[in-house]
Structure 1
Amino acid sequence: MATSAPVIDEDLYGAPALRDSRALFARIRDAGPVVWLPRHRMFAIGRYEEVKAALRDDDVFVSGRGVAANPVTNLLARDTTLFSDGATHDARRKVLRESLNPKALKEIEGHVEQQARRVVAELGVGREFDAAGAFSRHVPVNVVADLVGVRGGADRLLRWAGASFNALGPVNFRSATTGPTSLGMLLYMLRLGPGRVAPGSWAASVFAARDRGEISAREARALVIDFVAPSLDTTILAATHLLWDLAHNPDVYARVRADPTLVPAAVVESVRLGAPIRGFTRAVARDHEINGVTLPKGSRVVLLFAAANLDERRFPNPERFDLDRPNNAHLGWGNGPHTCVGIFLAKLELQALLRAMLPCVQSVSVHTPRRLRNNTLQGFRSLRACFS
């Protein structure tokens, strides 16, 4: 495509970028408000203000034509909330929010906190563990598995979630090898009905909305995916990165222990730095200009949440963990109409884990980080840790 945008001829989804995207994200930000990625035949936006503006402009940057970097996923996932716009999106999101709004989550707050205290107590002090597994996985997996109400076990839910995020990338090795798992999740959901989910569960609420005529039967099955796929890996990655941040910023952890009212700020700042979602794509609905560069109608652009969260134009000294960062409205959970519908659940789980640590954990140490390689997610797939 002939374009006046700066060209970055690198593979955004290649192994070097997935090992650590920060250098490439910085190149994209420094090159301009919008760049062209010839290897993927799409534009990329990595600066905070431009990513935020695009996320809030769902008339131009549309999700209904898919948010993946390949046409197959964009076709198969068209009935989900993430892959919709306007009134359709609002109707689907309303059904999900029945279970995920702050008032509804208040009913499970005690359960989440109990699970978090159990995790910390079982890990104890002085014993090394894998943060990504022993610390981060238990709360979201058990909460989501119990509340969603679909059979299949936690391990299968985790495989489905990871595969679904790989499927949002281009057609490459990762999306191809996890394709059968993604397809298996899709086939399983297509067979779902009220009799195959737990009574009173989140999935049951979706089928109740179908019975009320608010959504179709096909949408109801797809919306169960919206509970499973986004609720696991992202929170697990965020919790693991939280331990990484606390270990590398002992002064921050000491402040939070002395003043537990800082727990929400610590969680928000850690998600800014860790940003589990690298970014989603959008289709451009009509010709649109950004700083003199025209994005033609029908083109595709990837909005890089993680790059925007480290934009020094918006966040002074962006690599620093700052509990006092003013107006820390980062994009780790997105923004605009498609802000993560599970944001309140994620905050509840992350805050519960941190609060559970405060009475008995004086410090955190970590070593041997191994990074996840996923087309859409970023973070640690394993991280050795120890409480003291």
Structure 2
Amino acid sequence: MSVTVISLDIDLFSDGALLDPWPLYRRIRDAGPVVFLSRLGVWAMGRYGPVRAALRDWETYSSAQGIALNPVANGTTEGRLLTSDPPEHDTLRSVLAHRLLPRQLRDVGQTVARRAEELVEGLVERGEFDAVPDLAQALPLGVVLDLIGLPQDGRDEILRWADGAFSASGPEGPRTSEGLALLEEQFQYLITRATRDQLAPGSMGWAIYQAADEGRIDAKSILPLMSAYLTAGLDTTVNAIGNAVYYFAHNPGQWDLVRQNPEIVANAFNEVLRVESPVQFFTRVTTREVDVEGVRLPEGARVMMMYASANRDERRWENPATFDVRRNAAEHIAFGHGVHGCAGQALARIEGHAILQSLAKRVARFEVSAPERRINQLIRGFKSLPTVVQAL
């Protein structure tokens, strides 16, 4: 017997909701396994079990019609990894996926560890810094852009464009329009300035062009692939590092556990990603009528897969709002799940672990003041996080 469909009249994209989404996510989870959001005209999955199962089932929950909440963004991002299904998705992913496997990143890992040590040592010597631009952005920005092989010209705009590209996934409105304009600026940069002749030989960007030359991908896929790796390769790591500083500042006992037990750094990073998932949601479109724990979703339904809500689902996690580095958080879905699991997650982990390991050697306590959150329709993190550290 089907369960009665629950419809909620809530605004997930007001300033207040973007700054503190957790009460609304709880309402969605409590209402049912999947609920209809009347203001948006879409469905929402907020519980861990249904979201994880749906992400595994790409044949029923398709990405090929885009992952955003507006048609312009879905049209603009057509042909990306996130907006394609197998076999096209597998072909596009194969161009660079092998370069992002853990075993292929060993040499990169050594470089990342060295850069993290140098960066953290300098910041701890200063004693006071902004943990977003000075720490969270500084390491991933240099690492990722070097891997892609971008010229120095234009690098100072990359994060602004990435921020806009993510926010463009929201519902129609001023913020979405601003995001789409920034996404167009990124495209123009890739077309006119980060051109083939400006990319470092042997880099990831160079490999994308080579794949087109060899006929492995269509030439029309070059720009979407470049944009995808340029956008998705930064924000998850940047926001996770900023969130880590914030949470350890407010939970000093948890930081003591990390300092005293360096072997739990990887688990601590997972817990940061679980409790504050940088990516809040992506959408999928159903290819058939499907039953979700008794609720019937029609064919053609656009469904918000709410990663951040699922990672705080009381049905899966005990005391989910509590930050606990001893928790086994390995099954979080902050990086997605299934065929669309983040291709760069191994690199993100290398960067996040390196920063935490370097900090654990040098910092006894963090103090943060006047944190300023970014208001972005898809990504959750800080714009500024003034930080004072007490050195060991």
Shift of 1:327: 5.9
Q: Is the 8 A contact 1:142 1:154 kept in 2?
A: no
Partner of 1:303: 305
Q: Match of 2:370, SS?
A: strand
1:205-216 → structure 2 map (5 Å cutoff): 205-216=207-218
Range moving further from structure 2, 368-377 or 123-132 = 123-132
Matched residue type, 2:117: R
**Quick one: distance in 1 between partners of 2:49 and 2:162?**
30
Shift of 1:211: 2.0
**Quick one: distance in 1 between partners of 2:380 and 2:329?**
24
1:304-383 → structure 2 map (5 Å cutoff): 304-326=306-328, 328-383=330-385
**Quick one: distance in 1 between partners of 2:323 and 2:332?**
13
Matched residue type, 1:72: V
Shift of 1:190: 4.4
Which digits, 9 at most, give the CA deviation of each residue in 1:8-46, with x for residues without a partner?
A: 211112212101111111111111111111111000000
Matched residue type, 2:61: F
Q: Match of 1:244, SS?
A: helix
Matched residue type, 1:80: R
Partner of 1:17: 17
Partner of 1:242: 244
Shift of 1:178: 2.6
Which digits, 9 at most, give the CA deviation of each residue in 1:168-215, with x for residues without a partner?
A: 111112111232211121233345653232211110111122222211
Among 270, 273, 278, the alignment partner of 1:271 is 273
Compared CA separation, residues 78 and 138, structure 1 to 2 (3 A): same
Matched residue type, 1:178: G
Shift of 1:125: 5.1
Q: Is the 8 A contact 2:166 2:179 kept in 1?
A: no
Q: Match of 2:361, SS?
A: coil
**Alignment gaps of 5+ in structure 2:** none
**Alignment gaps of 5+ in structure 1:** none
Q: Is the 8 A contact 1:128 1:384 kept in 2?
A: yes
Q: Is the 8 A contact 1:193 1:221 kept in 2?
A: no
Q: Is the 8 A contact 1:68 1:281 kept in 2?
A: yes
Range moving further from structure 2, 184-193 or 348-357 = 184-193
Which digits, 9 at most, give the CA deviation of each residue in 1:118-151, with x for residues without a partner?
A: 2211212573221111111110111112121123
Partner of 1:160: 161
Partner of 2:148: 148
Equivalent pairs counted in the alignment come to 386
Q: Is the 8 A contact 1:28 1:46 kept in 2?
A: yes
Which digits, 9 at most, give the CA deviation of each residue in 1:233-283, with x for residues without a partner?
A: 221111000011211222221121112111101111111111000000111
Q: Is the 8 A contact 1:160 1:181 kept in 2?
A: yes
Q: Is the 8 A contact 2:242 2:385 kept in 1?
A: yes
1:165-314 → structure 2 map (5 Å cutoff): 165-190=166-191, 194-314=196-316
**Quick one: distance in 1 between partners of 2:294 and 2:267?**
37
Shift of 1:367: 2.2
Range moving further from structure 2, 80-89 or 293-302 = 293-302
Q: Is the 8 A contact 2:267 2:328 kept in 1?
A: no
**Quick one: distance in 1 between partners of 2:56 and 2:346?**
20
**Quick one: distance in 2 between partners of 1:187 and 1:171?**
23
Q: Is the 8 A contact 1:247 1:366 kept in 2?
A: yes
RMSD of aligned Cα (Å): 1.6
Shift of 1:86: 1.0
Range moving further from structure 2, 213-222 or 59-68 = 213-222
Q: Give the TM-score of the pair, scaled to structure 1.
A: 0.96
Shift of 1:336: 0.8
Which digits, 9 at most, give the CA deviation of each residue in 1:349-378, with x for residues without a partner?
A: 000001111221111122222211111001
Matched residue type, 2:180: G
**Quick one: distance in 2 between partners of 1:259 and 1:327?**
17
Matched residue type, 1:205: A
Q: Is the 8 A contact 1:43 1:302 kept in 2?
A: yes
